[in-house]
Structure 1
């Protein structure tokens, strides 16, 4: 049974926003007390958060589909719907988030680091929030926005200071078991280790982590053996340690050629050329192993390697190796630049950015793309004429009609708002405050009107002018 998974494809879906409510307050002797429809609740986000107690992506391998809860719809009496709960997914330290094309979306390192994988949909406004001095009784509300969907790839890269590399059965797992409290599976046959092992070592005042990479053989960088699956786990290390077997029973192998082959695989994998290297000649407790270690040591040192002769079984040379690794790790940590305070980068929109684009396609269809018009379309109840007219007014105020005319659109031409797979298509009829001729002043109910003094009429006219510059969808209740 699989117990370690370091790469999964995850399908996440955020919660949808709840629909706004269209309601009119009623009580005895006040049959038309004004709009009192509440707003819909916002949908929950899907959030990845680093949890150092999690070491594998196994849960997501078995359950790759995750969804946050949706917001509840608003109700009459100015009751807003409940927000959906965020879905928090714990991931191991060192998890890289990518899209299906391989583009890195986030590199999650450090306890508590978060990434919003899918954003919850905005709740629709109720007719109480849509009312104003001009629109006293809206007979419609906005629909909730569907939650975001995303297919992501989670890839775990172990966060370790020291990485042990070498042939199968070179003694990497044995070395970790005696340097730390880790208890990896150890046997006398190749490919005993099927997952990276991680141990914590204390040497003097320095505490560091050490990991081994299983399955490195010739051709590992091209997918042979298990090496390609686990080479990613050495990318974050501070130092690479070659563990060479000086007592191998294979006559065609020797420590120097083993090192050359592993170095070539690391070179083919790429990105590790700047890491300091050390060499450990293991199994010197075997007589022939001791002789071979003394024979190859001068050549390795002439190449610039710092060489240690050890025996994991007999506990020989371990203290010197442990403190040498601690010294290299400490120097590496000191050389890293101090972490800077979090910066907030503000990128204001260009003064001529309309927030949408109009493109004429080959078939003559005019396509409108932009965050606002696409969201407004999703929030519109097309079974309600007043809601459709409100959408048309918003698009007109945004400047969509003006841009369509500039692009050459004529009455009766097809216009699509949104992407090809999920667009609203209609025949365009240019208007000024669309639908006003048919519906009058939308949202007004003369039964709510009363004679007003001149000062009140002046204030209402000013409110009408102010409202034409507002974006009602950006209103967020407390």
Structure 2
């Protein structure tokens, strides 16, 4: 059964915004007391947060689909809908968030670090919020915006100061068990360690963390053994420690060749060339191991390595090693650039930036892309003529119609608002005046009427006034 997972693909969905309410206040002797529809609630976000108590991504391996709650719809009486609850997903310290193409979205280091993986949708405005001097009783409300969807990849990279690397059964687990309070599994067969182990070491006034990376073998950077799965845990370490077995029973192996092979794998993986390295010759409590350590030490020192002879079993040389590592960690920490104070960068919008684009595609279709027009389309109830007229007003005021004309659009041309997989397509008819602002009775849009001559419109209006006057004259009270 899997107990440690350091890479998962996660599918997150934020909550959708609640729909606005179209309602009219009613009470005795006030049948039409004005609009009182409330706004819809906002959908919940999906937020990743670093939690020190979490050490694996196992939960997301078993449940890769996560969704926040949606906002509630608005109600009459100016009652707004309840906001959806944010979904907070705890992740281990050192988690890297990537998209499906491998681009880094967030590097989450430090307790409490957060990243919003999916934004909750806005709640739709109710007709009370949409009323104005020209539109005193809107007969429509805006729909809630759907919540964001995202497929992300989470990769865990252990946060440690020192990484122990070496062949399987070189004694890395034994070494970390005596240097720290960690209790990894120890045995005399290869690949005992199946997950990275982390321990805390105190050497004088310096406290640092040390990681035992599962055994590497030739070809690990290409996927052989377990190395490829755990080489990413070396990336954040400041110091690399080669643990070499001086008492190996394999005749074709020796400490120098083991070092060369592991160095080649680290080189193939890439990005680790600047890490300081030391060599630990382990198992010198064995007579043959001590003899071999004394033979290879001059050659390793000639290569520029600092060499320690230790025995994890007999506790030989451990104090010197722990203080030596503490010194190197201190130097690495001092060499890191100091974090600058947070600066607020203001990037004003360009004067000619309309917030949307109009592009004519190969098939002649004009496509409008932009955060505002796309959101407005998603908020429109196309079964309501007045809502459609209100959308036309907003697009006209934003300048979409002018830009379509400049792009060469003509009456009857196809126009799409939104991405290819989720767009609203319609035949464009240029208008002289906005629709909803010139509406008469609610739900009517004069642009949908068949054009009539001015004289005919005046005669129709006079006929309506005469009919209303006649009904008033014929009224007889009880």
Task: Report the TM-score when normalising by structure 2.
Answer: 0.92
| SS state at 2:280 partner | strand
Q: How far is 1:344 from its partner?
A: 2.7
Q: CA 1:447–1:22 in structure 2 vs 1: closer, same or farther (change >3 Å)? A: farther
Q: What are the superposed Cα offsets for residues 112-171 of structure 1, whole Å, 9 maximum, x if unpaired?
A: 000000000000000111111121111100000000000000000000000000000000
Secondary structure of the 1:69 match is: coil
Alignment partner, residue 298 of structure 2: 298
* 1:331-355 deviation line (CA, Å, top 9, x unaligned): 1112212222223332221110011
- Aligned residue for 2:137, secondary structure, equals coil
Q: Is the 8 A contact 2:165 2:215 kept in 1?
A: no
Note if contact 1:44-1:68 (Cα within 8 Å) is conserved in structure 2.
yes
Deviation, 1:435, is: 3.3
Report the CA distance between 1:451 and its aligned residue.
31
For residues 87-121 of structure 1, give each alpha carbon's deviation from its aligned partner in whole angstroms, at most 9, with x where no partner exists: 00000000000000000000000000000000000
CA contact (8 A) 2:72 2:82 kept: yes
> Residues 20 and 92 (structure 1 numbering): CA distance in 2 closer, same or farther, change over 3 Å?
same
Are the equivalent residues in 2 in contact too, given 1:23–1:76 (CA < 8 A)?
yes
Q: Is the 8 A contact 1:386 1:442 kept in 2?
A: yes
Between 105-114 and 213-222, the greater mean CA deviation after superposition: 213-222
Q: Is the 8 A contact 1:137 1:443 kept in 2?
A: no
Rounded to whole Å, the distance in 2 between the matches of 1:468 and 1:325 is: 97
The offset of 1:433, in angstroms, is: 3.1
Match of 2:358 in 1: 358
* Equivalent residue, structure 2, for 1:420: 420
Identify which range, 339-348 or 165-174, moves more after superposition: 339-348
Whether the 8 Å contact between 1:130 and 1:472 is mirrored in structure 2 is no
| Mean CA deviation greater in 69-78 or 27-36 | 27-36
Q: Quick one: structure 1 residues 437 and 63, their matched pair in 2 at CA, closer, same or farther if it must change by over 3 Å?
A: closer
Cα shift at 1:467: 35
How far has the Cα of 1:85 moved from its partner? Answer: 0.2
SS at match of 1:420: coil
- How far is 1:465 from its partner? 29
Deviation digits for residues 365-416 of structure 1 (CA, Å, limit 9, x no counterpart)? 1111100000000000001000000001100111111111111111111111
Q: Is the CA contact 1:70–1:84 (under 8 Å) kept in the aligned structure 2?
A: yes
Runs of 4+ in 1 over 4 A off after TM superposition: 441-478
Instruction: Output one character per residue of 1:226-264: Cα deviation in whole Å (capped at 9) or x when no partner.
Output: 101000001010100000000000111100010011001
Q: Is contact 1:134-1:464 (8 Å) kept? A: no
Question: What residue number does 2:138 align with?
Answer: 138
C-alpha separation between the residues in 1 aligned to 2:214 and 2:383?
62
Unaligned runs of 5+ in 1: none
Note the C-alpha offset of 1:436. Answer: 5.6
User: Residue 215 of structure 1: CA displacement?
Assistant: 2.6
Question: Equivalents in 2 of 1:47, 1:476: separation in Å?
Answer: 68
C-alpha change, 1:287 and 1:19, in structure 2 (3 Å) is same
Q: Are residues 468 and 59 of structure 1, via their aligned partners in 2, closer, same or farther at CA, if it must alter by over 3 Å?
A: farther
- Aligned residue pairs total 478
| Higher mean displacement: 405-414 or 273-282 | 405-414
The structure-2 alpha-carbon separation of the partners of 1:436 and 1:173, relative to structure 1 and needing over 3 Å to count, comes to: closer
| Cα contact 1:137–1:444 (8 A) shared by 2 | no
- The Cα RMSD (Å) is 8.8
Q: For the structure 1 residues 280 and 448, does the alpha-carbon distance in structure 2 shift closer, same or farther, using more than 3 Å as the test?
A: closer
1:73 aligns with 2:66: no
CA distance in 2, matches of 1:411, 1:28: 49
1:444 is aligned to 444
Q: 1:164 to 1:33 in 2, by over 3 A?
A: same
Offset from partner CA, 1:408-467 (integer Å, 9 cap, x none): 111111111001100001111100334369843868999999999999999999999999
CA contact under 8 A between 2:135 and 2:437: conserved in structure 1?
A: no
Cα distance in 1 for partners of 2:47, 2:194 equals: 30
- C-alpha deviation, 1:290, in angstroms: 0.3
Alpha-carbon spacing, 1:356–1:454, altered in 2? closer, same or farther (3 Å): closer
Comparing 378-387 with 448-457, greater Cα deviation is found at 448-457
| TM-score (norm: length of structure 1) | 0.92
CA separation in 2, counterparts of 1:39 and 1:475?
A: 42
Seen in structure 2, the aligned counterparts of structure 1 residues 29 and 167 have a Cα distance that, compared at 3 Å, is: same
The 2-side partners of 1:470 and 1:279 are apart by 107
Q: Residues 44 and 119 of structure 1 are in contact (CA less than 8 Å); yes or no, is this contact kept in structure 2?
A: yes
Give the corresponding residue for 2:367: 367
- Relative to 1, partners in 2 of residues 1:336 and 1:231: Cα closer, same or farther, differing over 3 Å? same
The range that moved more, 447-456 or 342-351, is 447-456
